[in-house]
Structure 1
């Protein structure tokens, strides 16, 4: 009888978890003051959402009574209001590190997830920390969390003798929903108890399923509201002082305006007039010895915020907009380039994005860059002429994304770059699909892409991929294939390194869904990948790896992996010459990772790695070590040291002509070299409160490649000694970046930012291995540049202005 009762209890518990919870809200007319006190009469009669269930680590476990959580929701004509009581039997242990917006730090969290269309596709998530900080993001199952999206809303968190309280006001202008009189929204609440690393949700989120956004509860009761006029103006003014040794100190003043306008209940226009990216984070440059360009992160807010639609098909690399000129100046033997811009100025940019109630997402991005010249001097006459290296150019992206059955989509994407005059134009189109079974247990995804380049010689190319996998349960797997033609080229507005190949790949993995005696989480992955040169069928890439990632009961993270290239491969890229290849040797490597619990004041990350290749003396090894210390809830410092060494690395350095009767190079020269890299990074923050923070960021980087002897690439892909080369082709690159900043969010959506930065970089052929000298040289030489800037941005909401008048 006792067993029967237990089975009945478990059955109804599982049944309760699988059903969507429903919360009723009520309309109010009185004012709600966002002060964390919850004293207004309307709160007392509002329905309560409770009975939270653990998401991680023990998925499905009911929250204990001494940590119970109660949430209420109210609404009026302008916003929804949320009040949350988080009980804690040890309130003095509540973690509350103060951090910048969108950075949680070591702090307890409360979150509200809203889907105004209740279509299981996209959540607007709003978080408040126990230190009264804010974070917000847009979340989709396909792209995860996008914290570059920022909304303007109000919140207040207060620590009490029974736990802590959060009160929130989320205006309708920060959400998306239909114009129907009776609203039904997807809704979930989230709580994280940081000291335990326990995460709870109001509506149960089953970790066995490969979806997050489709497991929300329901909010009912909102009626007869109208989507507001979503018109936001963000005027700004910036002042810069630039200085450097040997150069004139000068100041500049800039001003401009960003506009956000809700075209209707679903679509938003973002426009940037007179762009100012002067306070954007510097790129972390490296010594790049490979055949491909270095890919940089996008740090400009306009191109990072709300771009989930534009990431479809992986066709957009927004750093192309305002990046390097598309051509290089041509010079004669008696001329030299005295000025060649490294970037192109952006004139303006806009984007329109949104989704209809029937699930059709539309995204349009357009940007215009200015005509750019290089300066060339005639050494005989000293005359200077200008040559266009980038004409007036238009960049355009169109995305149509149809969602259906709440968990699947089919998308069409087109990217187009049109340059004025006879310069190269590029156009790429793609059809992308992401199909899931009704229960989210299996996935079929893929794409077909077509590129057309209008240049001196027109090129057309295609790329396609197809993937199938099981996406639920403890055991999961996936298999796939991809094919790229030789002339596929999306590099005018995207980035792609390798073409002319076909590949097959697979993955199998196992994970625990609930904690065991020793682990909170544990996952094993087996991955295999093989790439074939499309025309010859030669293997030009192969890898098999197995890795383990785990989190123990003390919330320390461990990982380790073994990776191998078990057979030789044919590298068609390193030679920098068409139809020539280098035979890459077999390789066996491994790595280990340890990351201690960040809840502790002192924590450390350690990550050593090693690899051995099937050539005598050729190997690599390195490590990262990153201690961090939190002095108190306001002040913390993080340090990272990186070291990596490659012994007897073989790499391209030049092409020369050994045949006096030939006008083209016929010898491809490689170097046998040792490549050594060091980098030191220090970051820190001091938060006066959740709206006012000082930040520090320092990075010193040094990498050099020292050639030992020279080799010639043979027709069979092997290397032989080459003794006729005498040039110094060593590479020695070092750089320094330093930022000290102050940020104050003095009003909702409005910020004052003060920044001092200096930076320098140098490339040499001579190698001096004095590490200390490399640092002092960068900090004292003529290339060190200083910039001091102040930027003020003020957020204006049309609705707030209208209500005041």
Structure 2
């Protein structure tokens, strides 16, 4: 065969591979034209801009080209202050476009368009900006390790127009909302997203292959941004808040708070965020529960400063930001003493964070916060004298992260957390080396960490040092995936001063395998199955602490209803070293073998009426011992502006066994008990438009425990009957929370928010089991607190002020008067 023929045959065989591996590229151009964000694209700068089109389906039919009747066309231009996006979404049935109004960052039931930008084009992190067909904004940060984080909020502008051929979106994203290197010629990672909600179809401009786990590396490329002179990135957000507090046991009193947030761009890559005199009085309430375990209850972080842009600080899982200004523990006092003024929180003096990434891919993050010294008065009830005791000293919290990215899909990080308390108090330092390594084709992953903790406790003779580590290797692409790994924690590992950790002195091994479909079949739109096993041992005794196998299925049918099923088998007796809460660290409780199963159904939320239901059961190999319950959650969307969601959870534990006390002889006392928990929540929202919203959030939680057998723990992990302990250790907890809020984003980054809140908490040992009386007691009692607050935040851009006529006239040099 002639050489020429070989050449053409080889080229023919390689052409599909070359086309598949070649990234889509969009060329942009600069403009001096003032762009009005109105969704009309009538400025001359848009006419000759290059068009991105030919969107491909992400799911359910991965890789399928979008239909001509629903084609999508996107253009990008830029100037020295921002990039501008113009998107046209064609739809052959524009009257069926879904467009529910809701709060910012809530996708709800609506069509969406999004732009995904990576200023470093390193396949590691994307800033994502979405707009719904109702004009509601969503923004977040995506990383391969943590997925999408919508707690991050940026200041940007958008406008939506519904047309007779579909809908349009125009967006202005200032450089202040992005991160990129200081290069004259920029090359960014770029992707576009479209969701057609009524069909539950998602599309992207550059294909997101569902057989590949990392989405960011599959982005296309944006070229053409050159020689931009970005303005000073300095933003001031002053706030003022007025609070009124009252309950039946005290008079109404008010409190005024004021402060400021500062955001400063050190350069195009690094940003400083600072808060002076923070105010978190309007953050969402915590879903507190009756906690009978040996561990504290972990709460979600709801304070914006500690949720926005903190993905880098999550490396190594060393940071639990609720430690900063957390509700303090009560001081231990004598029987004849009373704490008079126990505060609910420790006030922060200030906090700041600096984060960014160098041209070489080195990410640097510093977070620092200082809480004030807090003291309480303690009264001696016999002498009626008081003394002052330090509840929390002046405390500095610090986090440092160095995160080196390379090869567009891997990273190695060094993390350090430090807590320093002024005076004769405990200090803590924890360091971690974290790695996440992927092969060039993203088919295999090696990840893990090594952590070292050092505790300097003023009252201990010896410092406390410990280590913790895990290692994981797995296949991360294709329909079939697997991973195996191990974990280890020494007895003295402790990161709880600025992190949260429930277990130490153990080692364990695990294996996971999974299967998924990437294109629909005749029965399912999506299908995912996962099998995993885990075995854990106590380091000191070698006894098994945990051992299970779990199988889960998650599917979506052709009507886009979701089904889930799971079963877990714990075939062996295991030993719990934490529930005894004993100074004898090797005491344990024997937990019998057991199995559990659950089923989950969620109907398609596109329908006005939808339902979630989730029954579950756990059966122990012990007479009469089992847990069961269900979650039932109907929802109804009255219109695009009004919706209501009700959630009812019931959970019953029969013949559960748990710790209740130590007796006078230091015996460990347990109880065989029944526990019943009811949780009722209502979430409602009414949206006046995409910037004004009313939201209602109501929760009543009732949990009670009745002990029917008192037991003494034995050295072999078993129990004998105890007939001498007679103290009533039954428990009944009623919690009531109601939040009614109004929010109005009256300008970009500027908001008025009004909150009415009432809440109460009632704990008792003596109680009845009537639901009506318990909810009545929760709502009508002398401990019911009322809070009414108004908060105003105003966003000030230094450049806007600098270019204003007032500023120019104020700073204009005065003419010198000659005599």
TM range (shorter): over 0.9
Whole-angstrom CA distance in 1 between matches of 2:302 and 2:732:
27
Task: Identify the residue that residue 359 of structure 1 maps to in structure 2.
Answer: 361
1:362 to partner: Cα distance: 0.7
Task: Identify the residue that residue 603 of structure 1 maps to in structure 2.
Answer: 610
| 1:317 aligned onto 2:320 | yes
Task: Identify the residue that residue 147 of structure 1 maps to in structure 2.
Answer: 150
Task: Identify the residue that residue 5 of structure 1 maps to in structure 2.
Answer: none
Task: Identify the residue that residue 34 of structure 1 maps to in structure 2.
Answer: 37
Whole-angstrom CA distance in 1 between matches of 2:423 and 2:504:
28
- Residues 332-381 of structure 1: per-residue CA shift (max 9 Å, x gap): 45333333334211111111111112111111111111111122111222
Task: Identify the residue that residue 437 of structure 1 maps to in structure 2.
Answer: 439
Whole-angstrom CA distance in 2 between matches of 1:374 and 1:672:
38
| 1:20 aligned onto 2:27 | no
Summarize the Cα distance change of 1:100–1:699 in structure 2 as closer, same or farther, 3 Å threshold: same
1:40 to partner: Cα distance: 1.3
Task: Identify the residue that residue 237 of structure 1 maps to in structure 2.
Answer: 240
Secondary structure of the 1:689 match is coil
Whole-angstrom CA distance in 1 between matches of 2:485 and 2:86:
47
Task: Identify the residue that residue 773 of structure 1 maps to in structure 2.
Answer: 773
Secondary structure of the 2:299 match is coil
1:275 to partner: Cα distance: 0.7
Whole-angstrom CA distance in 2 between matches of 1:399 and 1:9:
49
| 1:103 aligned onto 2:106 | yes
8 Å contact kept, 2:395–2:420: yes
- Residues 405-460 of structure 1: per-residue CA shift (max 9 Å, x gap): 11111111111101111111111011111100001100001111010111122211
8 Å contact kept, 1:539–1:569: yes
Whole-angstrom CA distance in 2 between matches of 1:532 and 1:485:
12
Whole-angstrom CA distance in 1 between matches of 2:172 and 2:273:
24
| Aligned pairs for 1:104-143 within 5 A | 104-143=107-146
Task: Identify the residue that residue 408 of structure 2 maps to in structure 1.
Answer: 406
Summarize the Cα distance change of 1:571–1:223 in structure 2 as closer, same or farther, 3 Å threshold: same
8 Å contact kept, 1:353–1:361: yes
| 1:481 aligned onto 2:483 | no
| Aligned pairs for 1:199-238 within 5 A | 199-238=202-241
- Residues 246-284 of structure 1: per-residue CA shift (max 9 Å, x gap): 211011111100001111121111110011011011111
| Aligned pairs for 1:645-794 within 5 A | 645-658=652-665, 665=666, 667-794=667-794
- Residues 774-793 of structure 1: per-residue CA shift (max 9 Å, x gap): 11111110000000000000
| Aligned pairs for 1:438-457 within 5 A | 438-455=440-457, 456-457=459-460
Whole-angstrom CA distance in 2 between matches of 1:306 and 1:42:
33
Whole-angstrom CA distance in 2 between matches of 1:41 and 1:766:
76
- Residues 21-78 of structure 1: per-residue CA shift (max 9 Å, x gap): 1111111111111111111122111111111111111111111100100111111121
Task: Identify the residue that residue 396 of structure 1 maps to in structure 2.
Answer: 398
* Structure 2 stretches lacking a partner, 5+ long: 1-10, 809-819
Secondary structure of the 1:443 match is strand
Q: Which moved more, 1:329-338 or 1:477-486?
A: 329-338
Task: Identify the residue that residue 816 of structure 2 maps to in structure 1.
Answer: none
Whole-angstrom CA distance in 2 between matches of 1:12 and 1:781:
76
Whole-angstrom CA distance in 2 between matches of 1:579 and 1:372:
37
Task: Identify the residue that residue 294 of structure 1 maps to in structure 2.
Answer: 297
8 Å contact kept, 1:179–1:227: no
Whole-angstrom CA distance in 1 between matches of 2:16 and 2:405:
32
Task: Identify the residue that residue 661 of structure 1 maps to in structure 2.
Answer: none
8 Å contact kept, 2:182–2:269: no
Task: Identify the residue that residue 200 of structure 2 maps to in structure 1.
Answer: 197
| 1:423 aligned onto 2:425 | yes
Q: Which moved more, 1:682-691 or 1:170-179?
A: 170-179
Whole-angstrom CA distance in 1 between matches of 2:533 and 2:383:
62
Whole-angstrom CA distance in 1 between matches of 2:14 and 2:605:
38
Secondary structure of the 1:214 match is helix
Task: Identify the residue that residue 472 of structure 2 maps to in structure 1.
Answer: 467
| Aligned pairs for 1:487-566 within 5 A | 487-566=492-571
8 Å contact kept, 2:340–2:377: yes
Secondary structure of the 2:293 match is coil
8 Å contact kept, 2:80–2:230: no
8 Å contact kept, 1:451–1:460: yes
Secondary structure of the 1:42 match is helix
Whole-angstrom CA distance in 1 between matches of 2:303 and 2:358:
28
RMSD, aligned α-carbons = 1.4
8 Å contact kept, 1:179–1:226: no
Whole-angstrom CA distance in 1 between matches of 2:729 and 2:769:
16
Whole-angstrom CA distance in 2 between matches of 1:540 and 1:446:
22
8 Å contact kept, 2:114–2:194: yes
Task: Identify the residue that residue 592 of structure 2 maps to in structure 1.
Answer: 585
Match of 1:386 among 385, 388, 396: 388
1:13 to partner: Cα distance: 6.7
Task: Identify the residue that residue 370 of structure 1 maps to in structure 2.
Answer: 372
Whole-angstrom CA distance in 2 between matches of 1:440 and 1:519:
27
Whole-angstrom CA distance in 2 between matches of 1:265 and 1:171:
11
Task: Identify the residue that residue 74 of structure 1 maps to in structure 2.
Answer: 77
1:178 to partner: Cα distance: 1.9
Whole-angstrom CA distance in 1 between matches of 2:13 and 2:239:
58
1:671 to partner: Cα distance: 0.5
Whole-angstrom CA distance in 2 between matches of 1:13 and 1:523:
29
Q: Which moved more, 1:336-345 or 1:226-235?
A: 336-345
Whole-angstrom CA distance in 2 between matches of 1:13 and 1:97:
42
1:604 to partner: Cα distance: 0.6
Summarize the Cα distance change of 1:121–1:585 in structure 2 as closer, same or farther, 3 Å threshold: same
8 Å contact kept, 2:626–2:655: yes
Whole-angstrom CA distance in 1 between matches of 2:12 and 2:607:
39
8 Å contact kept, 1:18–1:204: no
How many residue pairs match? The answer is 791
| 1:612 aligned onto 2:615 | no
Whole-angstrom CA distance in 2 between matches of 1:390 and 1:81:
49
8 Å contact kept, 1:155–1:168: yes
Summarize the Cα distance change of 1:598–1:459 in structure 2 as closer, same or farther, 3 Å threshold: same
